[in-house]
């Protein structure tokens, strides 16, 4: 049999599932025989092959027709046709029901797709559940991304037996230069077993091996698919060529397949090895991430116990650095995703509440219809219709609504998922970019729609059943005007909506508090920050680095529209920077005790840094142009550092030394305190201010710096700054170019996203509750026209009639509000972790939510009220 023939048989076998079971075998046999006859040698060649494929596609139509033909005759499709027709007869009702269902289902599907992408979908590596990350905790709390030291890693690697492979990596942005302009790309230096851990093989060439990490091995690099596509246009001859990375020429030995990067944003990988000297001296230098793959038959608990043994041994052998530190083994996903989980789950809960409100609302609408038809139902029942037939007809109608709502909701979710995926870059939620509607999400959506249909259908079915029972007891089927059940449903909607509105307002107020916290420097679009890294191979000496940075700044200052420019090691607002132990305080060597040691964040700054950033000088002087190499070493502290080191005393004239060499081989960082500056809040505002030591960059010239440029009244031109740098050294790229405003908004991006989505859901909830309220009031007024007319005739004023409607409205809204407030109050502790600067219920938020609700209720009641006031008593009486 030919390849086409086999393919056609598979298609037929696939389509056979549509064919009704009793004729399926015959159907398959017929098509297989026709295909076999067709592929006989008599008909050969491309045209015949295409003809066969074309014919076999008809098999699917045939199968679908047979299924449809079978369905068409059944009672179920009869119900379906009746349901569709009766819904189309009331298009306004159908449109409102379908639209609200679409919003509820769509919101859930979109949020679930994000939850699935971030928290549930397996990472793109083989057996991803076997991947773990090793981190440490203890008094020397690790800084961001600095979890293990080279000697610790080697001891874990050699000492723990429950892993099949373990690797350390140091993720950092690296400069890649060559034929095209230099650029900075995220990369990672990885130890030999790294690719064995993540289980990725190269799409071209090979991955890095243990051999590549040995001392003296030829320098090599593995490229990620994105980088290969972007910078090398997927050149097939890339293997064996050389690229310059941070000043080192490396041979490209491999390219990874798309979507297999770890860290997720990394674009290139270079080998990481440790010299004997580093292993001997760097026990306390925690700058490595450690990942490992559990061995066959090993559990994470066994691995934990295993690693704890190693850690205890290390603590005993190296008490100075390792005492009190323990190793934490966690699934890799947990480490990748961080603490975004609760926020996403809260959003999912909020979307679930919206769907619940929608269900209650549509149930109310459907119930109104069921009541309107109670007479017909009772008649049909008394004529002998089986009760289950009547209930099935009612359920079919809600099923049609739910299916239409699910289709609309899937469309909305598709748009929503794309919007959410696009938010990864601004919100910094890992894996959010992977948000999409896949089979799992669609299956969950279908499940939600089914549950919705059942929930919505229950009430009218019950009502139908009651009509059937009442049919025996003749009459009494006229719908009651007040509609107790529907009133309760509307109250429930109000209560649920109130919970969401209270939550949204609480978060919004928290967000406002958060951005209102003074940061200690100017947040504006006039200050541009940009990073650059000098290749250490070319800028070997401190003097070379200091003079290069000074030349860059001089060039930038000469640009038109630039007011001032400075440089800093430790980019503001990015969380980047080291915390380093105080070694000497006023000449006194501090004890190496992790319990009492003092940690300072370290910044190396040029003289203009403080004025450019508008960081206020509180005492003494700032770093000056005279503070260069060879001059007495000076430093500036922020208020937090002054309070930490010399509580209650004037810090000026005191001396401090940190336990590090910063860009200089044998000189420890620190000096005489010459000034005190204001505290700056650079990370999340709910974290305490970090005690910070500023040293002159000219005395500690780091190779990594951020330049900060202040424009005269406008944003400085980034391209011009880039040109200045390119003119001095084309191989040094400028990267992470942001204004301080952009940086500050990045820090609050996640709370802002959370607040925005919660507000969206709350608005949707209010809208749906308003629709429900309006629907009920309009119906009630219509049912009471006669009563209102009689009241007007016997002397009731317009005010009395309005009061009647208002009383009816406020009964339902009041009940809902009381329940909603109680529920919000009970749930307020769940919100605490997302709220900045306060705990417990935010009373003002409750007031605002109730006010918003009252506004919506008034709007919803206005139209029915006008209609009630327009009732003409004379007309009413004549019709009596």
Partner 1 sequence: MRRMSPTVVAVLQTVAAGTVYGFEIIDRTGLPSGTVYPALARLERDGHVRSSWEDQASAFAEGRPARRHYRITAAGSRALAAALAEYRALLPLRPARTRGTP
Binding site for partner 1 (CB under 8 A): 26, 29-30, 32-34, 36-38, 40, 54-62, 65-66, 69
Tell the smallest beta-carbon distance from residue 66 to partner 1 (Å).
6
Q: Which is nearer to partner 1, 44 or 57 (CB)?
A: 57
Q: Rounded to an integer, what distance in angstroms lies between the CA atom of residue 722 and that of residue 733? A: 8
Q: Which is nearer to partner 1, 57 or 684 (CB)?
A: 57
Helices 341-372 and 439-472: angle between axes, nearest 10 degrees: 30
Q: Which is nearer to partner 1, 56 or 853 (CB)?
A: 56
Tell the smallest beta-carbon distance from residue 46 to partner 1 (Å).
18
Tell the smallest beta-carbon distance from residue 79 to partner 1 (Å).
23
Q: Rounded to an integer, what distance in angstroms lies between the CA atom of residue 48 and that of residue 421? A: 46
Tell the smallest beta-carbon distance from residue 735 to partner 1 (Å).
58
Q: Which is nearer to partner 1, 42 or 383 (CB)?
A: 42
Q: Which residues contact 452 (CB under 8 A, 6 or more apart)?
A: 101, 104, 105, 355, 358, 359, 402, 405, 406
Q: Please count the CA atoms within 13 angstroms of the CA of 867 that sit on its side-chain side.
A: 16
Q: Rounded to an integer, what distance in angstroms lies between the CA atom of residue 26 and that of residue 45? A: 29
Contact 18, 66 (CB under 8 A): yes
Terminal CA-CA length for the chain: 84
Can you read off the two tokens belonging to residue 762? 């709350």
Tell the smallest beta-carbon distance from residue 55 to partner 1 (Å).
4
- The CA-atom distances, in angstroms, between 474 and each of 375, 377, 462 are 10, 12, 19
Q: Rounded to an integer, what distance in angstroms lies between the CA atom of residue 185 and that of residue 689? A: 30
Tell the smallest beta-carbon distance from residue 115 to partner 1 (Å).
41
Q: Which is nearer to partner 1, 60 or 458 (CB)?
A: 60
Do strands 183-190 and 220-223 pair parallel, antiparallel, or not at all (unpaired)?
unpaired
Contact 103, 346 (CB under 8 A): no
Q: Rounded to an integer, what distance in angstroms lies between the CA atom of residue 835 and that of residue 839? A: 7
Tell the smallest beta-carbon distance from residue 67 to partner 1 (Å).
11
Q: Which is nearer to partner 1, 10 or 29 (CB)?
A: 29
Tell the smallest beta-carbon distance from residue 379 to partner 1 (Å).
32
Q: Which is nearer to partner 1, 60 or 559 (CB)?
A: 60
**Cross-strand partners of 134:** 290, 329
Can you read off the two tokens belonging to residue 641? 């550092």
Tell the smallest beta-carbon distance from residue 83 to partner 1 (Å).
24
Q: Rounded to an integer, what distance in angstroms lies between the CA atom of residue 82 and that of residue 566? A: 76
Tell the smallest beta-carbon distance from residue 64 to partner 1 (Å).
9
**Would the CA dihedral through 97, 100, 103, 104 be positive or negative?**
negative
Cis peptide before 263 (omega within 30 of 0): yes
User: Quick one: which H or E segment has residue 702?
Assistant: none
Distance of CA 546 to the CA centre of its chain: 41
Q: Which is nearer to partner 1, 30 or 334 (CB)?
A: 30
Tell the smallest beta-carbon distance from residue 18 to partner 1 (Å).
12
Contact 521, 847 (CB under 8 A): no
Q: How many CB atoms lie within 10 A of CB 879?
A: 9
Q: Which is nearer to partner 1, 59 or 221 (CB)?
A: 59
Q: Rounded to an integer, what distance in angstroms lies between the CA atom of residue 755 and that of residue 822? A: 22
Tell the smallest beta-carbon distance from residue 37 to partner 1 (Å).
5
Report the 3 state secondary structure along 734-777: EEEEEEHHHHHHHHCHHHHHHHHHHHHHHHHHHHHHHHHHHHHH
Q: Which is nearer to partner 1, 68 or 388 (CB)?
A: 68
Contact 622, 675 (CB under 8 A): yes
Q: Which is nearer to partner 1, 56 or 568 (CB)?
A: 56
Q: Which is nearer to partner 1, 45 or 475 (CB)?
A: 45
Contact 376, 468 (CB under 8 A): no
Tell the smallest beta-carbon distance from residue 58 to partner 1 (Å).
3
Q: How many CB atoms lie within 10 A of CB 616?
A: 13
Q: Which is nearer to partner 1, 30 or 172 (CB)?
A: 30
């Amino acid at each position: 049999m030919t390849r086409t023939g086999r393919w056609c048989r598979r298609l037929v076998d696939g389509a056979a599932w549509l064919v009704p079971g009793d004729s399926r075998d015959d159907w398959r046999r017929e098509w297989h025989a026709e295909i076999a006859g067709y592929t006989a040698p008599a008909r050969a060649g491309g045209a015949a092959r295409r003809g066969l494929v074309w014919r076999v596609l008809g098999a699917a139509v045939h199968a679908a027709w047979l299924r449809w033909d079978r369905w068409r005759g059944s009672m179920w499709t009869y119900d379906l046709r009746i349901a569709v027709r009766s819904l189309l007869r009331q298009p306004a009702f159908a449109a409102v029901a379908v639209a609200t269902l679409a919003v509820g289902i769509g919101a859930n599907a979109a949020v679930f797709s994000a939850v699935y992408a971030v928290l549930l979908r397996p990472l793109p590596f083989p057996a991803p559940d076997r991947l773990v990350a090793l981190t440490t905790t203890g008094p020397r709390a690790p800084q961001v991304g600095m979890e293990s030291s080279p000697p610790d890693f080697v001891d874990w690697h050699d000492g723990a037996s429950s892993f099949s492979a373990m690797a350390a990596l140091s993720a950092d942005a690296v400069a890649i230069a060559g034929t095209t302009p230099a650029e900075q790309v995220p990369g990672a230096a990885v130890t030999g077993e790294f690719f064995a851990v993540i289980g990725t093989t190269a799409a071209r060439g090979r991955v890095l091996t243990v051999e590549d990490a040995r001392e003296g091995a030829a320098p090599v690099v593995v490229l990620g698919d994105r980088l290969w596509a972007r910078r090398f246009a997927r050149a097939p001859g890339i293997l064996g060529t050389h690229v310059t990375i941070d000043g080192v020429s490396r041979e490209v030995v491999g390219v990874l397949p798309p979507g297999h990067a770890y860290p997720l944003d990394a674009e290139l990988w270079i080998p990481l090895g440790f010299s004997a000297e580093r292993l001997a001296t760097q026990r306390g230098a925690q700058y490595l991430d450690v990942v490992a793959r559990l061995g066959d038959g090993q559990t994470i608990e066994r691995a934990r116990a295993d690693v704890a043994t190693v850690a205890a041994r290390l603590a005993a052998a190296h008490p100075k650095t390792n005492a009190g530190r323990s190793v934490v083994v966690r699934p890799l996903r947990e480490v990748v995703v961080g603490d975004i989980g609760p926020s996403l789950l809260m959003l999912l809960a909020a979307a679930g509440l919206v769907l619940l409100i929608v269900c209650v609302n549509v149930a109310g609408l459907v119930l109104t219809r069921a009541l309107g038809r109670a007479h017909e139902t009772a008649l049909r029942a008394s004529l002998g219709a089986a009760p289950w037939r009547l209930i099935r007809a009612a359920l079919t109608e809600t099923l049609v609504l739910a299916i239409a709502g699910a289709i609309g909701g899937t469309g909305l979710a598709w748009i929503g998922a794309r919007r959410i995926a696009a938010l990864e870059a601004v919100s910094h939620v890992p894996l959010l970019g992977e948000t999409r509607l896949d089979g799992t999400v669609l299956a969950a959506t279908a499940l939600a729609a089914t549950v919705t249909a059942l929930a919505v259908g229950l009430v009218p079915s019950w009502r139908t059943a009651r009509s059937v029972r009442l049919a025996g007891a003749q009459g009494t089927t006229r719908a009651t005007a007040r509609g107790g059940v529907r009133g309760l449903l509307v109250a429930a909607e109000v209560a649920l909506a109130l919970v969401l509105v209270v939550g949204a307002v609480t978060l919004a107020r928290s967000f406002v508090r958060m951005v209102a916290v003074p940061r200690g420097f100017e947040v504006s679009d006039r200050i541009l920050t940009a990073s650059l890294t000098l290749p250490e191979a070319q800028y070997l000496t401190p003097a070379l680095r200091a003079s290069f940075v000074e030349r860059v700044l001089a060039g930038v200052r000469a640009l038109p529209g630039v007011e001032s420019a400075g440089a800093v090691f430790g980019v503001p607002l990015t969380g980047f920077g080291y915390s380093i132990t105080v070694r000497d305080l006023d000449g006194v060597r501090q004890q190496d005790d992790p319990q009492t040691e003092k940690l300072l964040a370290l910044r190396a700054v040029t003289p203009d840094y403080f004025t450019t950033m508008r960081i206020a000088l509180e005492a003494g002087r700032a770093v000056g142009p005279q503070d260069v190499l060879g001059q007495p070493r000076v430093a500036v502290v922020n208020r937090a550092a002054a309070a930490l080191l010399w509580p209650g005393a004037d810090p000026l004239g005191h001396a401090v030394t940190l336990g590090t060499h910063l860009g200089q081989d044998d000189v420890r960082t620190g000096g005489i305190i010459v000034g005190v500056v204001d505290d700056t809040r650079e990370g999340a505002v709910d974290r305490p201010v970090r005690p910070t030591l500023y040293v002159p960059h000219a005395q500690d010239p780091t190779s990594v710096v951020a330049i900060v440029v202040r424009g005269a009244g406008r944003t400085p031109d980034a391209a011009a700054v880039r040109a200045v740098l390119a003119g001095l050294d084309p191989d040094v790229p400028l990267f992470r170019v942001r204004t301080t405003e952009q940086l500050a908004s990045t820090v609050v991006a996640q709370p802002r996203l959370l607040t925005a989505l919660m507000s969206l859901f709350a608005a949707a909830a209010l809208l749906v509750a308003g629709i429900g309220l309006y629907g009920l009031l309009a119906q009630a007024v219509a049912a009471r026209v006669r009563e209102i007319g009689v009241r007007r005739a016997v002397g009731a004023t317009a005010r009395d009639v309005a009061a009647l409607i208002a009383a009816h409205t406020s009964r339902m809204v009041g009940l809902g509000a009381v329940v909603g407030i109680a529920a919000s109050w009970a749930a307020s502790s769940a919100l605490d972790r997302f709220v900045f600067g306060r705990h417990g219920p935010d009373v003002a938020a409750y007031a605002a939510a109730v006010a918003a609700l009252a506004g919506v209720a008034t709007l919803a009641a206005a139209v029915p009220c006008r209609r009630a006031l327009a009732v003409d008593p004379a007309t009413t009486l004549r019709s009596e």
